[in-house]
Amino acid sequence: MKAHTKETQSTMSPQKALDFLKEGNQRFQNNLKANRNLLEQVNDTSEGQFPFATILSCIDSRVSAELVFDQGLGDVFSIRIAGNFANEDILGSMEFASKLAGTKLIVVLGHTSCGAIKGACDHARMGNLTALINKIEPAVAAVKEPQDESLRNSKNLEFVDAVSAENVLQTIKNVRERSQILADMEKQGEIKIIGAMYDLSTGAVDFY
Protein backbone atom coordinates (compact mmCIF):
# COMPACT_ATOMS: atom_id res chain seq x y z
CA MET A 1 0.00 0.00 0.00
CA LYS A 2 1.42 3.35 -1.06
CA ALA A 3 1.51 6.50 1.03
CA HIS A 4 -1.22 9.01 0.33
CA THR A 5 -0.48 11.68 -2.27
CA LYS A 6 -1.97 15.10 -2.95
CA GLU A 7 -4.16 13.45 -5.59
CA THR A 8 -5.51 10.68 -3.36
CA GLN A 9 -6.10 13.15 -0.55
CA SER A 10 -7.99 15.54 -2.81
CA THR A 11 -10.39 12.80 -3.91
CA MET A 12 -11.02 11.71 -0.31
CA SER A 13 -14.41 12.62 1.16
CA PRO A 14 -15.14 12.73 4.91
CA GLN A 15 -17.23 9.56 4.57
CA LYS A 16 -14.52 7.77 2.60
CA ALA A 17 -11.99 8.75 5.27
CA LEU A 18 -14.26 7.26 7.92
CA ASP A 19 -14.65 4.08 5.85
CA PHE A 20 -10.85 3.81 5.61
CA LEU A 21 -10.56 3.88 9.40
CA LYS A 22 -13.37 1.37 9.88
CA GLU A 23 -11.75 -1.01 7.39
CA GLY A 24 -8.39 -0.57 9.10
CA ASN A 25 -9.83 -1.37 12.52
CA GLN A 26 -11.50 -4.47 11.09
CA ARG A 27 -8.12 -5.63 9.80
CA PHE A 28 -6.61 -4.95 13.22
CA GLN A 29 -9.29 -7.02 14.96
CA ASN A 30 -8.69 -9.88 12.54
CA ASN A 31 -4.91 -9.66 13.01
CA LEU A 32 -4.44 -8.72 9.37
CA LYS A 33 -2.30 -5.89 8.09
CA ALA A 34 -2.40 -4.03 4.82
CA ASN A 35 0.61 -4.82 2.69
CA ARG A 36 2.81 -1.75 3.01
CA ASN A 37 6.53 -1.07 2.87
CA LEU A 38 7.23 1.46 5.62
CA LEU A 39 10.70 2.32 4.33
CA GLU A 40 9.18 2.96 0.92
CA GLN A 41 6.62 5.22 2.62
CA VAL A 42 9.48 7.07 4.32
CA ASN A 43 10.80 7.87 0.85
CA ASP A 44 7.34 8.65 -0.54
CA THR A 45 6.62 11.17 2.22
CA SER A 46 10.08 12.73 2.49
CA GLU A 47 9.04 15.86 0.63
CA GLY A 48 5.46 16.19 1.84
CA GLN A 49 2.56 14.60 3.69
CA PHE A 50 -1.09 14.23 2.71
CA PRO A 51 -2.92 12.53 5.60
CA PHE A 52 -6.66 11.98 5.36
CA ALA A 53 -7.68 12.04 9.04
CA THR A 54 -6.82 13.67 12.36
CA ILE A 55 -7.23 11.51 15.46
CA LEU A 56 -7.26 12.87 19.01
CA SER A 57 -6.64 10.00 21.41
CA CYS A 58 -5.35 9.25 24.89
CA ILE A 59 -1.67 8.64 25.67
CA ASP A 60 -2.54 5.12 26.85
CA SER A 61 0.16 2.77 25.55
CA ARG A 62 -2.51 0.32 24.33
CA VAL A 63 -4.31 2.85 22.13
CA SER A 64 -2.00 3.80 19.29
CA ALA A 65 -4.20 5.23 16.53
CA GLU A 66 -1.86 4.09 13.76
CA LEU A 67 -2.00 0.52 15.03
CA VAL A 68 -5.68 0.15 15.91
CA PHE A 69 -6.67 1.62 12.52
CA ASP A 70 -3.85 -0.15 10.63
CA GLN A 71 -2.46 3.00 9.04
CA GLY A 72 1.02 3.74 7.73
CA LEU A 73 3.37 6.71 7.49
CA GLY A 74 1.72 9.86 6.24
CA ASP A 75 -1.85 8.55 6.65
CA VAL A 76 -3.08 10.28 9.81
CA PHE A 77 -2.25 13.12 12.15
CA SER A 78 -2.15 11.64 15.65
CA ILE A 79 -2.76 13.99 18.60
CA ARG A 80 -2.34 12.37 22.01
CA ILE A 81 -3.03 13.64 25.50
CA ALA A 82 -4.20 11.90 28.67
CA GLY A 83 -8.00 11.99 28.65
CA ASN A 84 -8.26 13.01 24.95
CA PHE A 85 -9.61 16.50 25.64
CA ALA A 86 -9.05 19.57 23.48
CA ASN A 87 -7.27 22.67 24.75
CA GLU A 88 -6.17 25.72 22.76
CA ASP A 89 -3.01 24.09 21.44
CA ILE A 90 -4.83 20.96 20.33
CA LEU A 91 -7.53 23.03 18.63
CA GLY A 92 -4.80 24.89 16.78
CA SER A 93 -3.26 21.59 15.73
CA MET A 94 -6.63 20.40 14.44
CA GLU A 95 -7.10 23.63 12.49
CA PHE A 96 -3.68 23.21 10.91
CA ALA A 97 -4.41 19.59 10.05
CA SER A 98 -7.79 20.30 8.46
CA LYS A 99 -7.56 23.78 6.98
CA LEU A 100 -3.93 23.81 5.88
CA ALA A 101 -2.92 20.16 5.54
CA GLY A 102 -6.20 18.90 4.09
CA THR A 103 -7.45 16.12 6.38
CA LYS A 104 -11.13 15.28 5.89
CA LEU A 105 -12.03 13.75 9.23
CA ILE A 106 -11.50 14.55 12.91
CA VAL A 107 -11.98 11.66 15.33
CA VAL A 108 -12.08 12.08 19.10
CA LEU A 109 -11.15 8.60 20.32
CA GLY A 110 -11.84 7.61 23.91
CA HIS A 111 -11.25 4.16 25.37
CA THR A 112 -12.53 1.84 28.06
CA SER A 113 -10.93 1.73 31.52
CA CYS A 114 -9.15 5.03 30.87
CA GLY A 115 -6.68 5.95 33.62
CA ALA A 116 -7.19 9.70 33.18
CA ILE A 117 -10.95 9.25 33.41
CA LYS A 118 -10.48 7.13 36.53
CA GLY A 119 -8.45 9.96 38.02
CA ALA A 120 -11.24 12.42 37.24
CA CYS A 121 -13.83 10.08 38.77
CA ASP A 122 -11.72 9.99 41.95
CA HIS A 123 -11.00 13.75 41.77
CA ALA A 124 -7.28 13.04 41.95
CA ARG A 125 -4.94 15.86 42.86
CA MET A 126 -1.18 15.69 42.13
CA GLY A 127 1.11 18.36 40.73
CA ASN A 128 0.43 19.37 37.15
CA LEU A 129 -1.95 16.43 36.78
CA THR A 130 -4.47 18.42 38.83
CA ALA A 131 -5.05 20.94 36.03
CA LEU A 132 -5.48 18.13 33.51
CA ILE A 133 -8.00 16.31 35.73
CA ASN A 134 -9.94 19.56 36.18
CA LYS A 135 -10.55 19.66 32.43
CA ILE A 136 -12.13 16.19 32.46
CA GLU A 137 -14.24 16.54 35.61
CA PRO A 138 -17.19 18.27 33.84
CA ALA A 139 -17.81 14.93 32.11
CA VAL A 140 -17.98 13.24 35.53
CA ALA A 141 -20.60 15.73 36.71
CA ALA A 142 -22.59 15.29 33.48
CA VAL A 143 -23.08 11.54 34.08
CA LYS A 144 -26.03 11.48 36.49
CA GLU A 145 -26.19 7.76 37.27
CA PRO A 146 -25.49 6.25 39.67
CA GLN A 147 -26.44 8.93 42.16
CA ASP A 148 -24.96 7.00 45.06
CA GLU A 149 -21.62 8.72 45.69
CA SER A 150 -20.06 5.45 46.84
CA LEU A 151 -20.48 4.14 43.27
CA ARG A 152 -19.15 7.23 41.47
CA ASN A 153 -15.48 6.32 41.47
CA SER A 154 -12.82 4.41 39.55
CA LYS A 155 -13.80 1.08 41.08
CA ASN A 156 -17.07 1.20 39.14
CA LEU A 157 -15.85 0.48 35.60
CA GLU A 158 -19.33 0.91 34.12
CA PHE A 159 -19.36 4.45 35.52
CA VAL A 160 -15.81 5.06 34.29
CA ASP A 161 -16.75 4.04 30.74
CA ALA A 162 -19.90 6.18 30.85
CA VAL A 163 -17.76 9.17 31.83
CA SER A 164 -15.28 8.33 29.07
CA ALA A 165 -18.10 8.34 26.51
CA GLU A 166 -19.43 11.63 27.87
CA ASN A 167 -15.93 13.12 27.76
CA VAL A 168 -15.74 12.31 24.04
CA LEU A 169 -19.07 14.07 23.44
CA GLN A 170 -18.02 17.10 25.47
CA THR A 171 -14.72 17.28 23.61
CA ILE A 172 -16.52 17.27 20.25
CA LYS A 173 -18.84 20.02 21.52
CA ASN A 174 -15.81 21.96 22.70
CA VAL A 175 -14.13 21.65 19.29
CA ARG A 176 -17.20 22.98 17.49
CA GLU A 177 -17.77 25.82 19.94
CA ARG A 178 -14.18 26.99 20.27
CA SER A 179 -13.03 26.62 16.67
CA GLN A 180 -15.02 28.65 14.17
CA ILE A 181 -12.72 27.38 11.44
CA LEU A 182 -13.53 23.73 12.09
CA ALA A 183 -17.23 24.39 12.74
CA ASP A 184 -17.52 26.22 9.39
CA MET A 185 -15.65 23.45 7.57
CA GLU A 186 -18.02 20.87 9.01
CA LYS A 187 -21.10 22.90 8.06
CA GLN A 188 -19.78 23.17 4.51
CA GLY A 189 -19.23 19.41 4.31
CA GLU A 190 -15.47 19.70 3.99
CA ILE A 191 -14.84 17.64 7.12
CA LYS A 192 -16.62 15.44 9.65
CA ILE A 193 -16.06 15.66 13.40
CA ILE A 194 -17.02 12.42 15.12
CA GLY A 195 -16.45 10.47 18.31
CA ALA A 196 -15.44 6.88 18.87
CA MET A 197 -14.64 4.47 21.69
CA TYR A 198 -11.90 1.85 21.68
CA ASP A 199 -12.50 -1.33 23.65
CA LEU A 200 -9.29 -2.46 25.35
CA SER A 201 -10.57 -6.01 25.69
CA THR A 202 -11.50 -6.61 22.03
CA GLY A 203 -9.57 -4.11 19.91
CA ALA A 204 -12.83 -2.86 18.39
CA VAL A 205 -13.61 0.79 17.75
CA ASP A 206 -17.25 1.83 18.08
CA PHE A 207 -17.96 5.03 16.16
CA TYR A 208 -20.68 7.32 17.48
Feature table: binding site for Zn(2+): 58, 60, 111, 114
Considering only the C-alpha atoms of the chain, give the largest distance between any 2 of them, rounded to a whole number of Å: 57
Name residue 61's amino acid: S
Beta strands in 98-148, from DSSP E residues, in sequence order: 105-111
Q: Which residues of 110-139 are buried (b: 16+ CB within 10 A; e: fewer)?
A: bbbbbbbbbbbbeebeeeeeeebbebbbeb
In this structure, the number of other CB atoms found within 10 A of the CB of residue 190 comes to 15
Any idea what DSSP says for residue 69?
T
Helix axes 88-95, 157-178, angle to 10 degrees: 60
**Which residues carry a binding-site annotation?**
58, 60, 111, 114
Whether residue 55 contacts residue 20, with contact meaning beta carbons closer than 8 Å, is answered with: no
> How far, in Å, are 31, 112, 124, 206 from residue 202 at the CA level?
12, 10, 28, 11
